[in-house]
Amino acid sequence: MKNHYFASCPRGLEDILQKELLVINASDFEKVDGGILFTGNHEVLYKANISSRVATRIMYLVKKGVYENEEDIFKAALDINWSSLFEVNKTIKVSTTAIKCPLKSVDFMTLRIKDAICDFFRKKFGKRPSVEVREPDIKVHLFLERNNFSLYLDASGNPLYQRGFRAASVEAPIKENLAAGIIELSGWKPGQAFLDPMCGSGTFLIEAALIATNQAPGLRRDFGFMAWKNFDKALFKNIKKSYQNAIIQKDFLRIYGSDKDLRAIRVSKKNLVLAGFEDCIQLACKQFKEIKPPLDEGVLVTNPPYGERIGDDEELDNAYPDWARTLKQSFAGWRTYFLTNDFRMPKLMRLAPSKKTPLFNGALDCRLFEIKMVAGSNRK
C-alpha cells in the first residue's frame, strides 16, 4: 500500500535526505524547503525512521484539502476515521504550524482539531482520548498554508536526532542529524582520519563512528508509529534485525576529538561510553592552537563557539589567527570544515574557503566553510 509521508530535516540537507530515502525504496519525491514529501509502504516508513541520519521527523499524511475558514478544517477532521488509526485509550497531543495562513488564531485551530478527534471517539465509543502535553502516545500535526491544510500523524514521536544514547550535554551542542549531514557534506569516508578539535559533548565523533560502523542511528530508540493501530511488530522486528546484522564491528576508527574544556572532554567520554565507542575514538583535552594532526591526511569537522554574548566576538577575533597558524603549520593535506554563524571567520583567519554551504543550526543562519589546507597556499 502506498502511503504519503513528509520527512523534515535541517534546511540545506534536503538532497542528502532524498538520497537516504532512495536507498530504502521510497518514491514520488517532492522537495520543499526543510523536507521531502514521499510515498512508500510500512517497510519504507519503518526503515526511514530507523536509518535516516539527517531527518528530524517523519509524518504520515492522514488527510489534506482546501479550506476557507476554521469550520472547513474542523469538519474535515471530524470526517476522519480516527479509530482506524489509534485506540481511544491512547493519549494525544495536537500541534499546528502555519505558513502564510489567513486564519486569526493557530492555537484555536489546534483546539478545534482536538475537539474533532474527541467528538469522533465520544460519538462512536462514548469516551474520548485524554490530552497529554509532555509524553503523548499519539502526536497529531496540522500544517496550514494559505489555502491548503494537511493533517499528519507523527511517526517518529521524539525527534529523530534523539538517538537514545546522549547522557550529558555541554552548552550549544549541535543536533545529531545536522552533525551527520555535515559529515556527509565533508565527503569524509570511514577509514580516513576524522578530527573535531572543539568536540564539546562529542556529537560529530559519535555520528562519524555510527557511519564508520554502518550503524543505523535509530536502533536504540522507540518511535511514534509503535502506538498506532496498524503497527506491524513482526515486520518492525525483522527490519531492525537486518540493520543490526549490517553493523560492522571495529576497534579503533581513526576518529579523534579534543576540546580546551576538561568538562567537555568528560561529557564526551560519558557519551562515547553510552554509545559503545569508548575504545574506537581518542579524546584529549587541548587548546585548538596546540593540536597536532594524528595522520598526514584527514578531515577536520567542527563547530566553533558562536559569538552570542557581549565580548565573545573580541575573544574569537583573537583566537582565529591562532587557529589559522596551527592549520597552516601542521595541517597540509587536510580538508577542514567549520560550521559557524560568524561569516567573518575565514577572512579573520586569512584563509580562503573553497566552498560555503548555507545551513541552519536551529534558527541560526550559518555557513559550512570548507578550507582545504595545501602546503604554502590558501593565503588571502
* Smallest gap from residue 6 Cβ to ligand SAM (A): 27
Out of 144, 160, 319, 345, the residue judged to bind ligand SAM by CB under 6 A: 319
Stretch that binds ligand SAM, among 80-88, 97-105, 160-168, 194-202 (CB under 6 A): 194-202
266 binds ligand SAM (CB under 6 A): no
Cβ distance to ligand SAM smaller for residue 182 or 373: 182
Residue 351 backbone phi and psi in degrees, to 5? -130, 135
State whether the Cα torsion 238-241-245-246 is positive or negative: positive
303 binds ligand SAM (CB under 6 A): yes
The helix/strand/coil state of 67 is coil
Angstrom distance (rounded) from CA 304 to CA 6: 32
Stretch that binds ligand SAM, among 114-122, 197-205, 248-256, 358-366 (CB under 6 A): 197-205
Q: Are 137 and 91 in contact (CB under 8 A)?
A: yes
Out of 7, 142, 144, 174, the residue judged to bind ligand SAM by CB under 6 A: 174
* Smallest gap from residue 199 Cβ to ligand SAM (A): 6
180 binds ligand SAM (CB under 6 A): no
Torsion of CA 115, 116, 119, 121, to 10 degrees: -120
Out of 118, 198, 216, 368, the residue judged to bind ligand SAM by CB under 6 A: 198
**Alpha helices (runs of H) in 295-377, residue ranges in sequence order:** 312-330, 345-349
* Smallest gap from residue 351 Cβ to ligand SAM (A): 16
Out of 157, 181, 200, 298, the residue judged to bind ligand SAM by CB under 6 A: 200
**Cα angle 133-112-104, degrees, rounded to a multiple of 5:** 105
Angstrom distance (rounded) from CA 229 to CA 99: 31
Q: Which letter, b or e, does each residue of 147-173 get, where b requires 16 or more Cβ atoms within 10 Å of its Cβ?
A: eebbbbbbbbbeebbbbebbebebeeb
Out of 154, 207, 259, 342, the residue judged to bind ligand SAM by CB under 6 A: 259
The helix/strand/coil state of 61 is strand
Stretch that binds ligand SAM, among 76-84, 111-119, 165-173, 221-229 (CB under 6 A): 165-173
* Smallest gap from residue 114 Cβ to ligand SAM (A): 36
Beta strands in the chain (DSSP E): 3-8, 27-32, 35-40, 57-66, 92-98, 138-144, 148-154, 193-196, 255-259, 281-285, 298-302, 334-340, 355-361, 364-372
Stretch that binds ligand SAM, among 181-189, 220-228, 247-255, 303-311 (CB under 6 A): 303-311
* Smallest gap from residue 173 Cβ to ligand SAM (A): 4
Q: Which residues bind ligand SAM (CB under 6 A)?
A: 170, 172-174, 197-198, 200-201, 203-204, 259-261, 264, 287-288, 303-305, 319
